[in-house]
Amino acid sequence: MSALAISFTLAIFGQQPTAADPAKLLADPIVDGSYGFSIRPPKDWQIVRRRLPERRGVTLLQMVQQLSPAETEEIILKQTATTRAIPMDEMLKGVAAALELEFSSVQVESQQVQQIAGKSGGLLSATFLREGGKKIRLEAIIEVRPQSYLVLIYNGPARVRSTSEPLFNLVLGSLQLLTDAFTEEQMKLALTAGQDWLASLRPDRLTGSLVPGQFLQFELNGKVIGGVAVWQTEKSWEGRPGVEIRERGWTFDDNGQARRLQNNMFVSKDLRHERWKSSVTTLLPAVGDRPAYLDVALEEGLRAEDVLLTNQTYQLNQPAAENPAIHLPPTYIPRALIRLLPLIIADREKQRMLAFVTFDHSRAGLITRVIELKGKAQPPDGVTSGMVYLIDDREGLSASPSHLYVDNAGRTLLVKAGDLTMRPTTEKQLEATFGPRIEKAEKQMNELERAYAESEKRFGRQRQP
């Protein structure tokens, strides 16, 4: 269930918020526990988190702003490495030389060695000609550890430099390197322990402790903003017995936005087959001359044996983007099984660490999840009696954990994920608090979906010969 907290935190906020920042031009932080960084992108820019492998590293994040139909500016965050130790001034000279080979009329304006995010770093700025126009390149290099670097790059037209350069510096200033909670050796041991646990899991254990219905309310900084209903049932799919989990939730913002959260997951008892379909539909109310509209995120996955197929779309009525098939490692854990883990884990009093890999749609690839079984714990606020156990769930070595408090049977007592709190409630209470708002939001969503469908039909007829 701590995975539930993480998935709904991402759905509601994009990422867990961190301390307040006066830079109003930046959006909430993007946190990557696998590569150990937090960074704030420019507000309202398009964000692409899909990882793109390169010869000596990987592109981790792309931030793109469309300036005109034919012109964009972008900020890219990369991870790279060198085969030997190179002084930072030589790194900057190498970047300048590469630019001069790639583009024409390159003018390197500055190369400066300085600390960035508390680490050895360097800054470079240059202009060059490309596609008939003058462009600007801003590049920051941060040596995260010996021979391993994060590189932040801005590319855009020189004509917007007066605004783009200060914005790039704000984004760079927001970069934080996260402290590892444990060592890489501990991670390796945890992955081995997780793999052993998966191999030892009996099919009857999977279905022995299901919770047929639970209702949780969401609280953001102490204010109730919504809730979710969760059902866990035995079910067969294509003749394979297993477990289905269904989640239905809503959240409501002070600015009038409403979000509908829907999640269906299935995993077979032998853990060799699974499927999921998750959607978040956001109703954005009319503001001024802008009419109300919908944002929709849809993510799907299908696993057969050791092959996982996935897709996602983040625009209404747009075809899904198909990801390359992934051949899964033995450390892979099915999505539904993470939800069930607190219920089926044995010896909750025993403190230990399990790690697995899971699929993340925003990065179109596998990430590492670490489950720390902390044993008995003091009852958190609002929990007054009974035995309490604490389970921490985090991404990678360095992300902040979500804290899951469970009872002796593994049922959720409280979840803390950043500023978001989830606690048990009743269907009656959720209906009393949010029933009229849900009914109103659903009516508006249905009307907008019908309008979009009619618009598509008219457009289709116009295109017919």
| Neighbouring C-beta atoms of residue 276, cutoff 10 Å | 20
pLDDT of residue 10: 43
Helix axes 335-344, 2-13, angle to 10 degrees: 140
The residue with tokens 């883990």 is: 341
User: Which residues make beta-bridge pairs with 387?
Assistant: none
> According to the model, what pLDDT value does residue 24 have?
80
Give the bridge partners for 51, in sequence order: none
- Residue type for 213, please? G
196-242 per-position pLDDT tens digit: 999 999 988 888 889 999 999 999 988 999 999 999 999 999 999 99
pLDDT score at 450: 86
- Rounded Cα distance, 292 and 205, in Å: 47
Count CB atoms within 10 A of the CB of residue 274.
Answer: 22
The confidence score (pLDDT) of residue 227 equals: 96
What whole-number distance in Å separates Cα of residue 394 and Cα of residue 190?
A: 13
Amino acid letter for position 429: Q
* CA-angle at 333, arms to 51 and 420, nearest 5°: 75
Query: Which candidate, 419, 377, 342, 241, places its Cα nearest to that of 2?
Result: 342
The Cα 176–Cα 399 span in angstroms is 12
Q: Got the DSSP string for 43-104?
A: TT-EEE---EEETTEEEEEEEEEEEETTEEEEEEEEEEE-SS---HHHHHHHHHHHHHHHSE
Contact 144, 177 (CB under 8 A): yes
Q: Which DSSP string do the residues of 379-429 spell out, in sequence order?
A: PPTT--SS--EEEEEEETTTSPPEEEEE-TT--EEEEEETTEEEEEE-HHH
Give strand pairing partners of 280. Answer: 261, 297
Beta-carbon contacts of 350 under 8 Å, excluding residues fewer than 6 positions away, are 373, 375
CA 458 to chain centre: 36
Q: pLDDT tens digits for 44-64?
A: 899 988 888 877 788 999 999
Low-confidence ranges of the chain (pLDDT < 50): 1-4, 6, 9-22, 461-465
Backbone angles phi, psi at 146, to 5 degrees: -50, 120
DSSP state of 33: T
Q: Which domains does the chain have, with CATH numbers?
A: 37-177 (3.40.1000.10), 184-425 (no CATH)
- Phi, psi (rounded to 5 degrees) for 425: -145, -165
Report the pLDDT value the prediction gives residue 19, as an integer from 0 to 100: 41
Measure the CA–CA gap between 17 and 55, rounded to whole angstroms.
33
Q: How many percent of the chain have pLDDT more than 70?
A: 92
State the pLDDT at residue 364: 87
| CB neighbour list of residue 166: distance below 8 Å, 6 or more residues apart | none
